[in-house]
Chain A
Amino acid sequence: NAGVTQTPKFRVLKTGQSMTLLCAQDMNHEYMYWYRQDPGMGLRLIHYSVGEGTTAKGEVPDGYNVSRLKKQNFLLGLESAAPSQTSVYFCASSYSIGILEAFFGQGTRLTVV
């Protein structure tokens, strides 16, 4: 039982490069989330999805795009990376009703130079 898996775990990008972070969950969860964690800022919601084919903006969506073409996958894209996007990125998923506990992946450490 893998839970929530993030790929890659580490990445170094040059300013202006693009990349996609992949999140996969095997728990049949409806909701999926992308957060970034920065010192003193806690976990800030970038984008989220309440079901396949749907996405919504969170607290800090600028500079990021997302897609949820399949229920089990949630992709986070950076079209033109900036040093301000250096962070640790976490993906999470949860059910939509009942137990609302969100399960997190192990994180992706991204450095933009």
Chain B
Amino acid sequence: DQQVKQNSPSLSVQEGRISILNCDYTNSMFDYFLWYKKYPAEGPTFLISISSIKDKNEDGRFTVFLNKSAKHLSLHIVPSQPGDSAVYFCAAWEGGGKLIFGQGTELSVKP
């Protein structure tokens, strides 16, 4: 049973607009969440994270929101750029060192 779910396999947005990527989780023991970005033929690279004691974390064009009661987090990219086109993975830390990833969402930013 998938504990971290990204239900949208793909998302297409226009350059300059907002991209919103969503992630749901089922395990209430998760206490830290991360977003990763992956280009083809490369390993995933860290983008931004958030602790479960916060509801928002911002880094430049990237903002992650956490809604613990809904077990939902989202990544906002504003403004979106063509170079943002990649697969985005949501991940969650469970106590004891277990890091679980979602299925990924492929973002395409069109000029």
Contacts and interface: CB of A to CB of B under 8 A. Distances in A.
Interface of A: 4, 31, 33, 35, 40-45, 48, 50, 56, 58-59, 90, 92, 94, 96, 100-107
- 9 pairs of A and B residues whose beta carbons are closest in the complex: A104-B43, A42-B103, A43-B101, A50-B97, A101-B46, A42-B104, A104-B44, A31-B97, A106-B43
B100 A45 contact: yes
Contact of B34 (A45, A48, A101, A106): A101
A97 to B, nearest CB: 11
A101 B6 CA distance: 20
B89 A43 contact: yes
Interface of B: 6, 9, 32, 34, 36, 41-46, 49, 89, 91, 93, 96-104
A90 to B, nearest CB: 6
Contacts of B91: 43, 102
Contacts of A40: 9, 103
B98 A58 contact: yes
A103 B91 CA distance: 13
20 contacts: A4-B43, A33-B99, A40-B9, A42-B89, A42-B102, A43-B44, A43-B89, A43-B104, A45-B101, A48-B99, A50-B97, A58-B98, A92-B43, A92-B44, A94-B99, A100-B32, A101-B46, A102-B34, A104-B43, A106-B43
